[in-house]
């Protein structure tokens, strides 16, 4: 491949971590994800969270009903772990092809995580089941103790929770979601075949300075929060490394503009509309465009044991101007105002 090709053909990518929301917002944001990705692992942190097979089936129906006509997009649903979740329900949902994975939110770590897990020790029966049936466990890897500095919460989680968990359950298949630190990248790279990580586009582009550039920037706030520059560089190195245990997961997490630009603004970056363009820019800046396809379209399905997409997409080397705001129609035909990641910037690749 030449250093700067005029176009780039990729196997259609999948998004291994996305928030599609529900109701009006689902209708507004789903087309962005469905236009780019073949499949997506859909987060269960709705209100109330998805904890049963019946709730997941109903949510899947709502997603399918909200898809644009002719879309071939497939949502892969997840179960939200609570302290009291029944392992038999998880096993049944996995066997029936309803649940693709389980999601572990430490209680109160992030948006709609109040019903999350208060103590990993309480879930040993669940972890034994997941280990036995090969059902992936997706982890939001942050401790929640108020005494731990927010910028240290991922590294401390790895040391205090993840490492002991993997020691207790060596057969557990785990995805450490949206990693943000050099410590996480090194831990995953140094682990065995059962541990993988997703990397978001925003954590490849911003460091924590972005939150404070010229004033407070709520659109750059997400959890885990962006860290120092050295960590962003470590994530870029991991993403382009060719290690199949690092793959694409956008963590696109839309909140209407009024909910972001508030006294207590919500965490989450809406990157779905230009996600593949954003990854392409990061890989190009690293001189690694030839590694984008494996990261975006091959390593994820291989880890999940799913077939690769057969369809292809084309990225054209033409600049795209990302609007400062998007007005997307919800189910009732009302416009929801959202600020996309890269708002107001020019990106050099356009999805044809």
Catalytic residue positions, numbered = 251
Does 223 bind ligand DOR (CB under 6 A)? Our answer is: yes
Judged by beta carbon, residue 19 or residue 173, the one nearer Zn ion is 19
**Token code pair at residue 281:** 């820019």
Residue 56 binding result from Zn ion, ligand DOR, none, given CB thresholds of 5 to 8 Å by partner type? none
Does 118 bind ligand DOR (CB under 6 A)? Our answer is: no
Does 210 bind ligand DOR (CB under 6 A)? Our answer is: no
Let me know the angle formed at the C-alpha of 302 by 301 and 303, rounded to the nearest 5 degrees: 90
Among 210, 237, 267, 331, binds ligand DOR (CB under 6 A): 267
Residue 29 binding result from Zn ion, ligand DOR, none, given CB thresholds of 5 to 8 Å by partner type? none
In contact, 82 and 116? CB cutoff 8 Å: yes
Owner of token pair 């963590």: 251
Site string for ligand DOR, 56-85 (x = CB under 6 A): ------------------------------
Question: 195-199 and 246-248: which strand pairing?
Answer: parallel
Q: Rounded to whole angstroms, how far apart are CA atoms 88 and 349?
A: 46
For residue 273, the SS3 value is: helix
Q: Rounded to whole angstroms, how far apart are CA atoms 244 and 238?
A: 10
Q: Applying CB under 6 A, which part among 121-129, 236-244, 260-268, 335-343 lies near ligand DOR?
A: 260-268
CB of 130 to ligand DOR, least distance (A): 20
Q: Rounded to whole angstroms, how far apart are CA atoms 114 and 239?
A: 31
Among 137, 220, 222, 338, binds ligand DOR (CB under 6 A): 222
Among 27, 33, 45, 252, binds ligand DOR (CB under 6 A): 45
The residue count for binding ligand DOR (CB under 6 A) is 11
Question: 346-347 and 320-321: which strand pairing?
Answer: antiparallel
CB of 139 to Zn ion, least distance (A): 11
Residue 267 binding result from ligand DOR, Zn ion, none, given CB thresholds of 5 to 8 Å by partner type? ligand DOR
* Alpha-carbon dihedral sign for residues 218, 223, 227, 229: negative
Does 142 bind Zn ion (CB under 5 A)? Our answer is: no
Does 15 bind Zn ion (CB under 5 A)? Our answer is: no
Q: Which of residues 224-283 bind Zn ion (CB under 5 A)?
A: 251
Q: Rounded to whole angstroms, how far apart are CA atoms 29 and 21?
A: 8
Cβ partners under 8 Å of residue 282, min gap 6: 201, 204, 205, 236, 239
Residue 341 falls in which region: left (phi positive, over 0), alpha (psi -120 to 50) or beta: beta
In contact, 215 and 164? CB cutoff 8 Å: no
CB of 40 to ligand DOR, least distance (A): 14
The residue count for binding Zn ion (CB under 5 A) is 1
CB of 255 to ligand DOR, least distance (A): 6
> Which positions lie near ligand DOR, rule CB under 6 A?
19, 45, 110-111, 140, 222-223, 253, 266-268
């Amino acid at each position: 491949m030449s250093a700067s090709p005029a176009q780039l053909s990729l196997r259609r990518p999948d998004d291994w971590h996305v928030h599609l929301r529900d109701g009006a917002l689902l209708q507004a944001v789903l087309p962005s994800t469905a236009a780019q990705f073949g499949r997506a692992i859909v987060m269960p942190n709705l209100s109330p969270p998805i904890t049963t097979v019946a709730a997941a089936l109903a949510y899947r129906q709502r997603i399918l009903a909200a898809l644009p006509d002719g879309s071939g997009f497939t949502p892969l649903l997840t179960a939200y772990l609570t302290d009291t979740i029944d392992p038999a329900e998880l096993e049944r949902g996995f066997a029936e092809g309803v649940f693709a994975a389980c999601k572990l939110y430490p209680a109160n770590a992030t948006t709609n995580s109040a019903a999350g897990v208060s103590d990993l020790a309480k879930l040993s029966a669940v972890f034994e089941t997941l280990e036995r049936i090969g059902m992936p466990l997706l982890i939001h890897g942050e401790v929640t103790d108020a005494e731990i500095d927010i910028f240290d919460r991922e590294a401390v989680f790895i040391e205090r929770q993840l490492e002991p968990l993997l020691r207790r359950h060596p057969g557990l298949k785990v995805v450490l979601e949206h990693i943000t630190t050099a410590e996480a990248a090194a831990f995953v790279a140094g682990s065995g075949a059962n541990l993988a990580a997703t990397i978001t586009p925003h954590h490849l582009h911003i460091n924590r300075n972005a939150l404070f550039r010229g004033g407070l920037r709520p659109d750059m706030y997400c959890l885990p929060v962006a860290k120092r520059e050295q960590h962003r560089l470590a994530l870029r190195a991991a993403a382009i490394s060719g290690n199949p245990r690092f793959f694409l997961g956008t963590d696109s997490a839309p909140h209407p503009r009024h909910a972001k630009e508030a006294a207590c603004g919500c965490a989450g970056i809406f990157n779905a509309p230009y996600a593949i363009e954003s990854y392409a820019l990061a890989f190009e800046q690293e001189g690694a465009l030839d590694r984008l396809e494996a990261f975006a379209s091959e390593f994820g399905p291989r880890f999940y044991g799913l077939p690769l997409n057969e369809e292809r997409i084309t990225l054209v080397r033409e600049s795209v101007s990302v609007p400062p705001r998007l007005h997307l129609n919800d189910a009732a035909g009302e416009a929801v105002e959202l600020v996309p990641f890269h708002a107001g910037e020019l990106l050099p690749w356009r999805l044809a």
